[in-house]
Structure 1
Amino acid sequence: MTTFLVIVLLILVALVVFSLVRGIIAFLKSTKMDLEREDTGTASEMQLMQNKMMFARIKYQALAVVVVAVLLAIAN
């Protein structure tokens, strides 16, 4: 059981890093696009992607914390 949870934790950590990198890339692209366009008052595609990746990162981090809590509970 511990081995399975460690594997799940590693997968979740990888997903956190992946969503963080994609969010940073979307942020950089949206910043460049925002400088080049007029203010229309709506969110751009890259800004929506940035928000989506931020939410995904938070979900994966929360799941990783739950897995660590279960691992600590099992260890006692």
Structure 2
Amino acid sequence: MQIFLAILLLAAMIATVVALVRGIVVFLKTTEEELKNGTGPTQSALKSNKMMQFRIFFQALAVLIVVIILFAAGRT
């Protein structure tokens, strides 16, 4: 069970980093013209926001897994 949780934690941490990098790349691709346009959020801004939401989700998942691991270690 501990090994499974450790693998799950590693996967959640990798997913967090991937979502962070993808969100930053999309954010950096936002052109100055899109920022000055002022007609509301663009597709790239919405995609960047979605990637950051994924990052937060994966981070929360990783923290939850750490809590489960610590709880399980304390019970043995």
Q: Which residue of 2 aligns with 1:45?
A: 43
Q: Which residue of 2 aligns with 1:7?
A: 7
Residue 50 of structure 1 aligns with an amino acid whose one-letter code is: S
Q: Distance in 2 between matches of 1:46 and 1:13?
A: 24
In the alignment, is residue 70 of structure 1 matched against residue 68 of structure 2? yes
Q: Which residue of 2 aligns with 1:58?
A: 56
- Work out which of the residue numbers 28, 32, 36 in structure 1 matches 2:33: 36
Q: Distance in 1 between matches of 2:43 and 2:25?
A: 13
After superposition, give the CA deviation of every residue in 1:13-46 in whole Å (9 maximum; x if it has no partner): 010000000000011001xx2x134423211111
TM-aligned CA deviation for residue 48 of structure 1: 0.5
The unaligned stretches of length 5 or more in structure 1 are none
**Match of 2:37, SS?**
coil
Q: Distance in 2 between matches of 1:66 and 1:7?
A: 14
Which stretches of structure 1, 4 residues or longer, exceed 2 Å deviation after superposition? Answer: none
